[in-house]
Amino acid sequence: MPHIPRRDQAWELLIHYTQSDSLRKHALAVEAVMRHFAARHNEDPEKWGIIGLIHDLDYDKFSQQHCYKTAEILHEKDWPQEYIRAVLSHGWEICTDVEPQSPMEKVLFAVDELTGLVATSALVRPSKSIMDLTAKSVRKKWKDKAFAAKIDRTIIQKGADMLGMDISELITETILGMRHVAEEIGLTGSIKEDSCHEQKCTNNNTTLE
Ligand SMILES: [Fe+2]
Ligand SMILES: [Fe+2]
């Protein structure tokens, strides 16, 4: 019987295989957004979050075998097939042919690249913060092809289409998810910690502009 991995085990695995600070922050951002979406879908935030946390487990050390090496590691550790399939599906048509099927897989596919665009958009604000970032401002950056040019907008759009979500709504929910770990991922900027806690609640509407 596969065992159900705990968050602390997933974190241990992540830091074992991932030395890069930016990749660890990316993992934490995707975890937070997955948890946020799990709640929206009435699903298990722990499971969705853990999958978000380890989805790029192999990227630092085995980028040539991206997705497959993670599958191998998780398989050896007896992780459930559901977790392994989800990891493989985030590389659909990029490095695997495993198409996202479940809501969890579709969300992972849709938000993976988007967390990068959101983070980069926050960092060029005067506040350097995600706490006052709006979906409108990310949409502007989205249209600017020279901005964060490596981030493939077509993948994000494909993900939004899979989920039947409008791109603004997808961006808004991603911002809200990432705000929960703003400090950990270095995106509080000049908006200090105390006000951040408040803004997690009070600033929700501003992202919808
Ligand atoms: Fe990846
Ligand atoms: Fe990723």
Q: How far is the CA of 188 from the centre of ligand 2 (A)?
A: 21
Ligand 1 centroid–CA 148 distance in Å is 17
List, for residues 150-208, the tens digit of each pLDDT value: 999 999 999 999 999 999 999 999 999 999 999 999 999 998 655 555 555 444 544 55
**Type of residue found at 33:** V
Residue scoring higher pLDDT (1 or 28): 28
The per-residue pLDDT for 195 is: 58
> What integer pLDDT is reported at residue 197 of this predicted model?
54
- For the chain, give the longest Cα–Cα distance: 52
| CA of residue 89 to ligand 1 center, whole Å | 10
Question: What ligand has the least distance to the C-alpha of 67?
Answer: 1
Domain boundaries, the chain: 7-201
- Residue 208 to residue 82: CA distance in whole angstroms: 33
Neighbours of ion ligand 1 (CB under 5 A): 56
pTM, full prediction: 0.94
Q: How many CB atoms lie within 10 A of CB 15?
A: 10
Please report the pLDDT score of residue 201 as a whole number: 43
Q: How far is the CA of 112 from the centre of ligand 2 (A)?
A: 5
**From ligand 2's centre to the CA of 154, what distance in Å?**
15
Q: What confidence tier does 146 reach under pLDDT thresholds 50, 70, 90?
A: very high
What's the gap in Å between 84 CA and the centre of ligand 2? 15
